[in-house]
Structure 1
């Protein structure tokens, strides 16, 4: 039996006896020794397996601490973001309830590591999708939205579903909710997810309308929710980065005066059309009113 297996056996004994604090501290002690020896693989293996043991007992506070410690080992060992390193994290995260404070404690270290050691500066999309899904399931819409906007193709569909649920409770504000998704994705220049989100969100909306909706050049034409026409046409304009088309659309629909859109539009103008100097964009600007 290896030293890790012996340690895990002792940890498991304490967990079975309900001695969770003792199990937690025993893991930290052994991991600290591994780190002094630069035995990073052993440290990661012990931390991961200990989290799995503790998660079955609902010890989310200990799990958050040990998972954060595992991320620190990842950083020390320069572990790259790949299916194996993400897989360990994912198996632990999926066991934590989205409403548990422990989940929020691990967001920053997990995303920070994936941003530094992965391909995406804003963090790994698959990890963002996991956080978004967990927060959405717990009803934490603002937290979920931030991660879905930086997530995968599946995140775009999930965000549309979440917005549809909120729109069902507030039927007078379809454009408000749908604009959050479209402008959000275009602000981070994710045309693919903007299209996926739009298709799903508009299909869900059309099913709730009494009057038929016509189509023109693959655009759903709305009369009452006419700003949805602008949002749909904004996507191809951003894709081809045609500033003249954007100006014509913005002037026709008078979008500059729409409350809550200015920050996102300024970012889109700079990133996609070079109209204004590039300015930092905060996703929170899109989340001001709807979920408070």
Structure 2
């Protein structure tokens, strides 16, 4: 059913009927979700039908973006995130399975994490195709990251050795940079915004991202300093210490080192690195 609907909507887009295609996808998605009990907040909802609805909306958003219809695409992405929020918190993601529990529960958790990773990738693929100037982009990013926090214990397991004891229930705390959302999402968002020249918007995401994010932040910070330096004299040390101190405050000392390394490496290329090391 969803493939036929999407094919029909694509034909409308090819004919330039973007509004009509957008409304068709949204209306049919509403009807489809209502038919499986969306109003009951997941009670009795068919996972298979929810999956088909997500595929329909993501396929429609992707095609709309091919025609530069970013506002309509963003609306469909928002719809998908709403479905994620109410129906797609993968079982087993929010709580770590203890070693003493049955192996079937461990398998259940593994499946939940794989579902989460698949859902995450869908949205990541769409977000980076939106223009950085899209007015709804900040809201989409915020909703996406908020949804990801429900799987924060999965991030702990991914970033720590198996021998490290992770929090065993959703009430226990995890490091701040994990409680703030999936580092992989923060890395993608920060890299995307920074690449679009929006350094200030990218910075908080790169601080909360992966170790590669720290390198990227160092690169962006040095490039930003260089742009400012073209019109007024500024001390590169002030730009460097800003990133280092924030990463140390997040208990990420290695990331702070990677930031410093990337920052000074770029400055060396413009003969300014010795200012910091002198």
* Conservation of the 8 A alpha-carbon contact between 2:25 and 2:60: yes
1:192 aligns with 2:190: no
| Shift of residue 66, structure 1, vs aligned partner | 0.9
1:100 match: secondary structure: coil
Question: Taking structure 1 as reference, are residues 117 and 65 closer, same or farther at Cα in structure 2, changes over 3 Å only?
Answer: farther
2:136 match: secondary structure: helix
Provide the rounded CA distance (Å) in 1 between the counterparts of 2:77 and 2:194.
22
Partner of 2:189: 131
Question: Taking structure 1 as reference, are residues 159 and 212 closer, same or farther at Cα in structure 2, changes over 3 Å only?
Answer: closer
Indicate the structure (1 or 2) with the bigger Cα radius of gyration.
1
Deviates more, 1:141-150 or 1:183-192: 183-192
Match among 87, 94, 101 for residue 135 of structure 2:
101
* Conservation of the 8 A alpha-carbon contact between 1:79 and 1:85: no
* Conservation of the 8 A alpha-carbon contact between 2:148 and 2:182: yes
Partner of 2:265: 203
Question: Taking structure 1 as reference, are residues 191 and 19 closer, same or farther at Cα in structure 2, changes over 3 Å only?
Answer: same
| Shift of residue 91, structure 1, vs aligned partner | 1.2
In structure 1, list runs of 5 or more residues that go unmatched.
Answer: 214-220, 224-292
Deviates more, 1:71-80 or 1:55-64: 71-80
TM-score (norm 1): 0.68
1:111 aligns with 2:145: yes
Provide the rounded CA distance (Å) in 2 between the counterparts of 1:153 and 1:212.
25
Higher relative contact order (CA 8 A, sep 6+): 2
TM-score (norm 2): 0.71
Match among 34, 42, 59 for residue 32 of structure 2:
34
Provide the rounded CA distance (Å) in 2 between the counterparts of 1:211 and 1:132.
25
Provide the rounded CA distance (Å) in 2 between the counterparts of 1:31 and 1:21.
15
1:101 match: secondary structure: coil
| Shift of residue 164, structure 1, vs aligned partner | 0.8
| Shift of residue 29, structure 1, vs aligned partner | 1.2
Partner of 1:54: 64
| Shift of residue 21, structure 1, vs aligned partner | 1.3
Partner of 2:166: none
| Shift of residue 210, structure 1, vs aligned partner | 6.7
Provide the rounded CA distance (Å) in 2 between the counterparts of 1:28 and 1:131.
26
Provide the rounded CA distance (Å) in 2 between the counterparts of 1:106 and 1:90.
11
* Conservation of the 8 A alpha-carbon contact between 1:98 and 1:136: no
* Conservation of the 8 A alpha-carbon contact between 1:27 and 1:47: yes
1:222 aligns with 2:273: no
Partner of 2:126: 92
Matched residue count: 214
Question: Taking structure 1 as reference, are residues 211 and 133 closer, same or farther at Cα in structure 2, changes over 3 Å only?
Answer: closer
Question: Taking structure 1 as reference, are residues 23 and 117 closer, same or farther at Cα in structure 2, changes over 3 Å only?
Answer: farther
Provide the rounded CA distance (Å) in 1 between the counterparts of 2:183 and 2:18.
33
| Shift of residue 209, structure 1, vs aligned partner | 4.1
| Shift of residue 183, structure 1, vs aligned partner | 1.3
Partner of 1:248: none
Deviates more, 1:94-103 or 1:64-73: 94-103
Provide the rounded CA distance (Å) in 2 between the counterparts of 1:5 and 1:207.
52
